[in-house]
Amino acid sequence: MSIYQALADLEKNGDWGVLCTIVHSQGSTPRHAGSKMLIYADGRIVGSVGGGEVELRVRQEAAEVMKDGVARLLHYSMVSPERGDVGVCGGSLEVFVEPIFPRPTVVVIGAGHVGKAVVHLAHWLGFQVAVADDRAEFCTPEENPEADAFYPVPMAELPNCLRIGPSTYLVLTTRGSSVDVEGLPALLAAKPGYIGVIGSKRRWAVTRKALLEAGVAESELNVVHSPMGLELEAETPEEIAVSIMAEIIMLRRRGTGKQMKE
């Protein structure tokens, strides 16, 4: 399979991976500028950037790119392994390592008033949008006509129904802490790019305490955004949706959330 066919299939199937491209080479190197390697999330590869130690190090960096979504330009010398170089060919090369993620997806879990407002805004912003709710009557195209997919299942079963990864943003606008306690462990284990829980600081404190008592690690809970959203003094469902989506955009684009005049 060619690298370009592999990339096309990756996009078609909604998978994610890391593309590694030699952008510059000088002197004697095993591969030259333009050589590419695609690394899938499960570790499979298509293509090569040279094999051996250089490819091993590139794959290690690619694993970090898969986690944080930040592209890297890597520089390798191939002169003296004693100094930590990747080989003895005598040349040098630069490898650009970039994440290849599918279209970002916002999954709204809990299709009440705020959930519906988030669906509407996320759709308008160009995200793929899914709705999940264990109350089937709330999880329909009639209730949320702008959603792309519907999962009328308990929260804990959601990872079995759709692929969750670095470009998946989970927005929990659920009806209570008990629902969150039951469903959050499975969602945390799926390693989404973002997971936010609606409610007050007190609600999250109660939820967090129950999850810790249930055996969920504190390090896992620390990735949860709750209360989620940016501080806008939002009141209406629509304003709250703006606050939530503003936080997601800020994190996705690595913004600061400061006022532009600052």
Residues 231 and 122 reside in one and the same domain: yes
Whole domain around residue 148: which residue ranges? 105-253
Phi and psi torsions of 40, nearest 5°: -80, 165
* 138 and 81 inside one domain: no
Q: Mapped to the 3 state alphabet, what secondary structure does 170-218 carry?
A: EEECCCCHHHHHHHHHHHHHCCCCEEEECCCHHHHHHHHHHHHHCCCCH
Q: What are the two backbone dihedrals, phi and then psi, of residue 201, each rounded to the nearest 5 degrees?
A: -60, -35
The CATH number assigned to the domain holding 200 equals 3.40.50.720
* Same domain membership, residue 45 and residue 155: no
Rounded to two decimals, the pTM is: 0.83
Residue ranges in the chain whose pLDDT is less than 70: 79-88, 90
Residue 259 domain flag = no
Residue with tokens 């191939």, as numbered in its chain: 78
Same domain assignment for residues 146 and 240? yes
Of 53, 83, 100, at which residue does a domain stop? 100
pLDDT at position 80? 64
For residues 171-200, one letter each, b for 16 or more C-beta atoms within 10 angstroms of the residue's C-beta and e for the rest, the string is bbbbeebebbbbbbbbbbebebbbbbbbbe
Co-location of 168 and 249 in the same domain: yes
Whether 121 and 91 map to the same domain: the answer is no
The pLDDT of residue 91 is 80
Q: Of 70, 100, 130, which residue sits at a domain end?
A: 100
Q: What is the DSSP letter of 225?
A: B
- Residues 117 and 80 occupy one common structural domain: no
- Three-state SS letters, 35-85: CEEEEECCCCEEECCCCHHHHHHHHHHHHHHHHHCCCEEEEEECCCHHHCC
Distance CA 262, CA 259 (A): 6
| Same domain (yes/no): 96, 150 | no
Q: Is 89 inside any structural domain?
A: yes
Q: Return the SS3 of 135.
A: coil
CA pair distance 82, 99, nearest whole angstrom: 31
Residue 118 lies in a domain: yes
Q: Are residues 111 and 239 in the same domain?
A: yes
Looking from the CA of 194 toward its CB, the CA atoms found within 13 Å total: 30
The pLDDT of residue 102 is 87
Residue at 184 is within a domain: yes
Gap between the Cα atoms of 82 and 136, Å rounded = 63
Same domain? 85 vs 25: yes
